[in-house]
Amino acid sequence: MEPEIDVVLTTVASRDDASGLVRTLVGERHAACGNILPEVTSVYWWEGAVQSAGEVLVLLKTARSQTPILLARAREIHPYDVPELIVLPVETGDAAYLEWVVREASGGGGD
């Protein structure tokens, strides 16, 4: 059976921004959980030049059925004008964990 979960990646400028984003998306049950990884350096092309900035990486785990809703909500509350929102499908993993993600990100609750 194929897992029905996705991991969504995004970056923000600060730990506070990351915490607010994750707490909102998990609290609204669009994601089962989120990880905040501080101190990444992003190098990117923006406004005609190569830019570099310290950022915070956020990993969100969600039920695949919730991914479009999570993306739409994340766009609404994200502090960036053009947020990085990348979806990575999960191919396999621990069955109990995958079931938990689907249950929690679908509003099931209980744990």
Kindly list the domain boundaries of the chain, sorted by start residue: 5-105
Confidence of residue 106 (pLDDT cuts 50, 70, 90): confident
Provide the whole-model pTM: 0.91
CB 55 within 8 A of CB 41: yes
60's CB contacts (< 8 A; 6+ apart) are 7, 8, 9, 10, 22, 25, 31, 33, 34, 70, 74
pLDDT tens digits, one per residue of 68-79:
999 999 999 999
* DSSP annotation of 107: T
Q: Which fold has domain 5-105?
A: Alpha-Beta Plaits (3.30.70)
Residue of 76, 70, 80, 75 whose CA lies nearest to 17:
80
**Dihedral over alpha carbons 72, 66, 29, 32 (to 10 degrees):** -120
pLDDT tens digits, one per residue of 77-93:
999 999 999 999 999 99
Is residue 110 predicted with pLDDT exceeding 70? no
CA 19 to chain centre: 11
pLDDT tens digits, one per residue of 21-66:
999 999 999 999 999 999 999 999 999 999 999 999 999 999 999 9
